[in-house]
Structure 1
Amino acid sequence: MFDPVWTALEISQSLGMPVQDFKACTGVQIDSRSIVPGDLFVALSGCETDGHNFVSNAFESGAHAAIVSRLPSDLEQSDERLIFVEDTGVALNRLAHAARARASARCIAVTGSAGKTSVVQALRAALARAGEAHSSIKSFNNHVGVPVSLARMHAQSEYGVFEVGMSAQGEIEPLAQLIKPDVCIITTIGAAHLKAFEDREAIAREKASIFKGMSAGGTAIIGMQHAYSDLLCTLAKAHDLKVIKVGFDDQCDVRPVKVYEQATCSCLSIGLADRLITFKVNQPGPEWILNAMMILTAVNAVKGDIAEAALSLASLVPEKGRGRLHELMFENGTVTLQDDSYNANPLSMRAALGRFARLTKETTQKSIAVLGDMAELGRNEEAEHLALVPYLKQTGFDLALTVGDYMPKASKEAGIETISCKNVAEISDVLQTKLSGNELIYVKGSNSTHLTRVVDDLIKLSRYEGHTTALGQGA
């Protein structure tokens, strides 16, 4: 059993101030709805909500203590569970810094324009087969999510895996300085968040700022399947990092020797650590072959068990909204639903459509696409959506239900029968009228389109949900 994550003494030392004694905390939360008994609640003040309004709710749910910057209206100043600070965000960052400093864990940071969360979760599963592994959850990858993830790490953790994201320039370096990774992975560079950058090279340079949080001699694992891979390698070497190139070309340090691709998985052999490793990836497509190679390379870099890690890749199941495949039973038959609704950008959309095309070739089911616009692409929005036309054509979709300004046009130009809907509620209503009990449904769009509600509606309507399995990669 682990020791508690935070004791009153440890919090006092981390914040550099005295605190009242309270029961030790076994977790850290910033959302009172997620509290489990024993947690520490950090009351952050945001643009839309103020955590101070929910401190009592946190205590009612069993929180042992709360960090606050003012007294909640329904609590007493003398409540020993309250830890008063000037700024709760600063306090959270101090806890994160202290958590990283006290742990001997070998840490991996993962960034890139697509595949970050999928790689993080697969890495944690791979490392956990041989040691105590901690990681970010969901997409906890920004100025709040990274400190929370670090603050949750036990001192006894042997490995830490953290996702690092960005939506504007200058966001990655402070997060890298907190994590101080021994190893970093840059998955790929694409147009995600292009609205906030001059061009893709600017995105690549922002991703490369993760190197500034690493010590000389650390390892940078670079996915080489994009136009800025050489730039990333050059920048990594400028920080005295060991660079490992991963991809499909002869120039790569880690590449496939043999590959056998199927509609729902891939089998391959790679040369790594002076031996040939043959394994199965329970995900289809070249993107996941690349991911798997980067994952095993990272495991090797932190001296993990490569054999156990390779075995873990054979049983990958993605999180909700990241390619999970559901079999839903209705009165008139079975509907197969691929839930890729969490998010979308040009890279992840193209890759996902390619994988789905393989699936449609092996089924007689009618295929229906539920597609939403890709957000944050700036002046390139229309062009990036129209660039999907060749990928949409190869899927063989029989029908597309779309929402947004640009996806309807792309779908129609691909020659797909298209119904443009005003919102997700209309999509759910129309979709129900199209189900005959022998459909294959694919759902993907940016978070702002809220397509996850369509998935939830379908699952609720079904009489029975059969097995769920792996297929896909989130944005």
Structure 2
Amino acid sequence: MSARNALLQWPITRTDTLPARLWSSDEIARVTGGRASAAFQVSGVEMDSRDIRGGDLFIALKGEAMDGHRFLDTAFANGAAAAITDRPIVQPHVLVADTTAALHALGQAAADRANAMRIGVTGSVGKTGVKEAIFAALDRSSRGKAHRSVRSYNNHVGVPLSLARMPARSRFGIFEMGMNHAGEMAALADHVRPHVAVITTIAPAHIENLGSEEAIADAKAEIFGGVVQGGTAIVPADSPHFARLADHAAKAGVKLVSFGRSAHADVRLLDAIPSANGGSLVTADMGDTRVCFSVAEPGDHWISNALCVMAAVRAAGGDLGAAGLALAEMGGLKGRGARHRLAAPGGHALMIDESYNANPASMRATLRALGQTPATRRVAVLGAMKELGDFAPRFHADLAGPLAEARVDFVILVGEEMRSLARSLGKGEAGALAAGLHFAHCGDPEGAIAALEDYGITAGDAVLVKGSNSVGLGRVVAHFTAREG
């Protein structure tokens, strides 16, 4: 049978007959307990008036410092079809007592009506990339009927918003879930009620608020409490906190599936061979079968991520072949591994954009990947790692070893927290180590741009830009990618 005929004969499912609209005014009013001012339909849901597209529903959320009702005119000027408000307005709207409660109700209703397999993804490192890879795999095999949270919409507002955006036709929903404090993950898990709960890794991100990695593991494991009956927990077998996570899963009554290099892993790495494009050719044992697939993203951490993706896709009833293809085609996300080819004297240089997030584990993994990247010279622009509290000086200073192991030729340190690393490298002043690592320390992204301009990017260089998002190193990437070629 030809591929065309196979597509034409693809079976019709129940969801194929559902309406293509996202929400109608009657549906919104019914699930929120509100009152619609007029009949309307919407194709999207948004809480930021600047991001409104034609046909969207704008939810005027109220917080301690901001009231979305102030931006109703902007939302409608940008094309909103209607709004959810707590006061009457002249434009089409659904009037409710509490707009935040209405958002939560809309999210719960979306989860109930779609009958989709829901996957919740959390972890200290890698959750956005893993979420995107799981989505790509399931979207491919379901003919576009997978839904995911966009950007890093992973908090108490972003998660219900992502749920509210899920079409009734969805067969899969993949939701990123983040937390800063104990108790937050439990609330998000109650929203998502995942069938599959994924923890990518445990590392000292947000340790300022939680105090220890053990407390971080406990807080992440709160996701298991929301897993539906018969659901699955996906956890890293190589984590020193594996037993702790397994115990939480057992107490929650969910099936445990582990991934990694350890002999006891259910999805176990057998072999990983570097490929010509910088990625890897991976062979994994999944218990009753072995799979071999390519991973486009470079770095050992993406080998672990890929095993996690395979475990999650299988637990969700997805297609492992589609997952392999998705991993082979994955490109780096903006701020999370995107690679840019820069015009430079003598040819081209590489800039790796990891400017969105940073913690000790992701810094080490990304520096290791930089060390494995073929280059004439390796340059790192490293911004401060936030939310480390009293642990910050030690975790920053400890990056000296990974920098040396990666054979970095020049490093630019950005932010006051990087002073402890500067002392480790050169007693507080710009200088050089015997190994040949030169560095500069500056206070802001503009200083980093000037330092990198002074150093000069030339053909064959590989430049890594990584730091916590609040440091603003995206400005460094934007400045130099203007010369992409």
Normalising by structure 2, report the TM-score.
0.90
- Using the TM superposition, give the Cα deviation of residue 23 of structure 1 relative to its aligned residue in structure 2, in angstroms: 2.5
Deviation at 1:409, TM superposition (A): 3.5
- Whether contact under 8 Å (2:29, 2:36) holds in the other structure is yes
- Structure 1 residue identity aligned to 2:447: E
Structure 1 residue 86: Cα displacement: 2.2
Aligned to 2:399: 388
Number of residue-to-residue matches in the alignment: 454
Map 1:459-470 to 2 at 5 A. Answer: 459-460=481-482, 462=483, 465-466=484-485
Asked whether the 8 Å contact 1:22–1:64 carries over to 2, the reply is no
Match of 2:476 in 1: 454
> 1:218: how far off?
0.7
Give 1:58 shift: 1.0
Structure 1 match to 2:135: 124
Provide the residue aligned with 1:10 in structure 2: 27
Residue 81 of structure 2 corresponds to 64
2:281 aligns to what?
267
Match of 1:285 in 2: 299
Alpha-carbon offset, residue 32 of structure 1: 1.1
**Counterpart contact for 2:422–2:441, Cα < 8 Å:** no
Show CA shifts across 1:271-303 (max 9, x none): 226222110111223221111111111111111
Is the contact between residue 25 and residue 94 of structure 2 (CA under 8 Å) also seen in structure 1?
no
Q: CA deviation at 1:406?
A: 3.2
User: Where do 5+ consecutive residues of structure 1 fail to align?
Assistant: 72-76, 467-475
1:376 to 383, 387, 408: 387
1:246 is matched with which residue: 253, 256, 259? 259
Whose relative contact order is higher, 1 or 2, with alpha carbons under 8 Å and at least 6 apart? Answer: 1
How many angstroms does 1:216 deviate by?
A: 2.8
Secondary structure (helix, strand or coil) at the match of 1:45 reads coil
Give the aligned partner of residue 107 of structure 1: 118
Q: Secondary structure at the match of 1:368?
A: strand
Give the residue type in structure 2 aligned to 1:137: V
What is residue 43 of structure 1 aligned with on the other side? 60
Query: How far did 1:14 drift?
Result: 0.8
Q: What is the alpha-carbon root mean square deviation over aligned residues?
A: 1.7
Of 342-351 and 61-70, deviating more is 61-70
Contact preservation (8 Å) 1:400, 1:411: no
Partner of 1:472: none
- What amino acid does structure 1 have at the position aligned with 2:405? Q
Q: Please say if residues 45 and 59 of structure 2, whose CA atoms lie closer than 8 Å, have aligned partners that are also in contact.
A: yes
Question: Could you tell me how far 1:80 is from its partner in structure 2?
Answer: 4.5
2:39 matched to 1:22? yes
Contact 1:408 1:418 (C-alpha < 8 Å) held by counterparts? no
Give runs of aligned pairs for residues 196-211 of structure 1, distance below 5 A.
196-211=209-224
Deviation at 1:332, TM superposition (A): 5.9
Q: Which residue of 2 aligns with 1:296?
A: 310
CA displacement at 1:333 relative to structure 2:
4.0
Cα distance change of structure 1 residues 436 and 247 upon mapping to structure 2, 3 Å threshold: closer
Find the counterpart in structure 1 of residue 447 from structure 2. Answer: 426
Partner-residue secondary structure (3-state), 1:107 = strand
Match in the other structure for 2:155: 142
Normalised TM-score (structure 1): 0.92
Structure 2 counterpart of 1:413: 424
The answer for the alignment partner of 2:240 in structure 1 is 227
1: CA distance between counterparts of 2:65 and 2:379? 36
Does the aligned pair in 2 maintain the 1:99–1:153 contact within 8 Å? yes
Q: Unmatched 5+ residue regions in structure 2?
A: 1-15, 426-432
Q: How does 1:120-199 map to 2 (within 5 A)?
A: 120-131=131-142, 132-199=145-212
Whole-angstrom distance in 1 between the partners of 2:55 and 2:307:
39
Partner of residue 7, structure 2: none
